[in-house]
Each structure stands twice: as C-alpha cells, then as structure tokens.
Amino acid sequence: MPITTGRDFRLLFASAAVLALLPAAAAAEAASNAESIGPWEIEATYKADKFDRCTVSRKLDDEIVATFMRTGDGLTLLLSSPNWKLDRGEQYKVTMKLGPKSWDREVAAEASSVSMDVDDAKFVSGLKTASTLDVVAAGATIRVPLDKSTLALDRLEKCVAKNERAVETNPFVAPARQP
C-alpha cells in the first residue's frame, strides 16, 4: 500500500471538498433559470422532465411571498409565509381589492399558505392596471404592490405557452427549462 504524503492528503481533501460543493453549484445553476422583471421573479418548473407550471412571485413585508402560478388549467394566486400557522383544508373568507373594485372570495389554506383560483377576467385585468392588490382578511390586510405586474403577467402567459409547446416540437430533445 502506498504511503500518503501531505501533498496527497491535501489533494484528496481538495477533491472531496469540490465534490461536496457540486450539488450546491448544480442547485444554484438550476435557480439561475429564473428571470427578474422588476420586483417579480419568473420561473418555469418541471416534474420528472415534464412541464408543470410557471410562476411569478415577489417578496413582501413580514416574509410574505405573493405568487401567481399559471398552468395549462388556469391562474392561481398564492400567498405564503413561514410565520403563518393555518388550518390545512380550511376556507378563509377574504375581500380582494384592486383600486375601487372588490371581490369577496374564499382562499384555501395549507399549513403556511393560502391559494385561490383567479378565473375572473375583470380581476385579471385589474391586476394589470391597479397599483396594489389588497387582500383583506379577518385579522390583517396584505398589500401586494403591482408595479411591473403587466409585464410580469404577460411574461407568465408566454412562459406557459413556450414550455407547453417545447415538448411538442421535438420529443427527442430535452426542453430548455427557461421561463
């Protein structure tokens, strides 16, 4: 068995360190597929090499994240915070306000997030023209600034169209996975 010198040990240690960092580098590379549009970040998500959804999100105060998720089935608004302790499966009543317009809705709860389908064309139009979305709940109002939302929501639609079509164009090539 060969004798290990200090140089060999350092080389072995450096190699191990590089190998340990590879998963982190790969994760950082995957995260770099996201694009920024002002305060919004858009990203395409795949599951098992199949397109799943596109999202556009932004961070708010108090660690709240507002996300619009678009799939082939429709648009969903998600609000989440690691600080929330919600009753999973519960439906909470809220009022959505876009400027002078308002809609009474129910949001579906998970442990630390709520979601609702956005299926009203006037509501979607309001998201593109209003300056803020106020989600008025029983205990607080969550204010979502909508600066650059027109660009972000239009880009969200293009993301879904592009990624759904990517597999159809050439089934022998993996999709680009870019928003």
How far is the C-alpha of 102 from the C-alpha of 20, rounded, in Å?
52
Among 67, 62, 44, which residue's Cα sits nearest to residue 149?
67
Q: For residue 88, give the nearest of 66, 113, 70, 53 by alpha carbon.
A: 113
Please say if the pLDDT value at position 31 is more than 50: no
The pair of three-digit structure tokens given for residue 176, joined into one six-digit string: 């680009």
Instruction: Please tell me the distance from the alpha carbon of residue 78 to that of residue 76, in angstroms, as a whole number.
Output: 6
pLDDT in tens, 42-96: 999 888 878 889 999 999 988 999 999 998 889 999 999 999 999 999 999 999 9
**Reported confidence tier of residue 178, pLDDT bands at 50, 70, 90:** low
SS in 3 state form for the chain? CCCCCHHHHHHHHHHHHHHHHHHHHHHHHHHCCCEEECCEEEEEEEECCEEEEEEEEEECHHHCEEEEEEECCEEEEEEECCCCCCCCCCEEEEEEEECCEEEEEEEEECCCEEEEEECCHHHHHHHHHCCEEEEECCCCEEEEECCCHHHHHHHHHHHHHHHHHHHHHCCCCCCCCCC
Structure confidence by residue, pLDDT tens digits, 107-160: 999 999 999 999 899 999 999 999 999 999 999 999 999 999 999 999 999 998
Q: Is the pLDDT of residue 100 over 60?
A: yes
Q: How far apart are CA 39 and CA 145, in angstroms?
A: 9
Predicted pLDDT of residue 117 = 94
Q: Find the mean pLDDT for residues 14-39.
A: 52
Average pLDDT over residues 21-47: 67
Look at residue 165 in the predicted model and tell me its pLDDT. Answer: 75
- The letter for the amino acid at 157 is E
